[in-house]
Amino acid sequence: MNHYLIEVLDPDTLEAVQQGTPGELVLSNLNYEAMPILRYRTGDRVIVNFDTCACGRTHPRITNFLGRVDDMLLVSGTNIFPSQVEDVLLQHPDISENWQLVIGSRKGLHTLKVEVEPVSGANIDDEYISTLEKTLHSYLEITCKVHFKPIGSLKRYEGKAVRVVDERKM
């Protein structure tokens, strides 16, 4: 018996998204009678697979957790999720896990910069940076500059890393 109805919705329009498309996980408890929870917005960005599993089960399966809806940043009218930047950076073995997204403002326009540290012994040249910027642009749909910093120059944190620095004037 299914105890929950699972939906994946666009967080802005609250319309259902196509299968395989990221959206906000929304749950309705179908089993609780006294105080049912209907269409509970979890705030989690997920991709859900509604196809029948190879084992025969028909219940939807969450295939990817992509972060939180409230992690979204609005930069020049474009929705940016730090997890999108991280996905691109993780595809490059010459880049360490130390990176930071810096949002600024120049002449009234928003700017987006990714500060990264290379791994020890990495060969980073202008062509590598240009290719990385093009990859980020195609993935984020916004221009993004990449600045490589010396190893150890980005601030380290004991707890959760601070990935976003917003320097815009509010």
What b/e readout covers 47-64, taking b as 16+ CB neighbours within 10 angstroms?
A: bbeeeeeeeeeeebeeee
49 - beta bridge partners?
A: 61
Q: What is the value of pTM for the model shown?
A: 0.64
pLDDT digits (tens, 9 = 90+) for 99-122: 999 998 888 788 899 999 999 988
Helix ranges (H only) for the chain are 82-89, 126-140
| Domain architecture of the chain: domains with CATH | 4-70 (2.30.38), 72-166 (3.30.300.30)
Predicted pLDDT of residue 108: 78
Instruction: Compute mean pLDDT per 10 residues along the chain, 170 residues long, and list them.
Output: 83 89 89 82 89 87 81 81 88 92 86 92 91 93 92 83 77
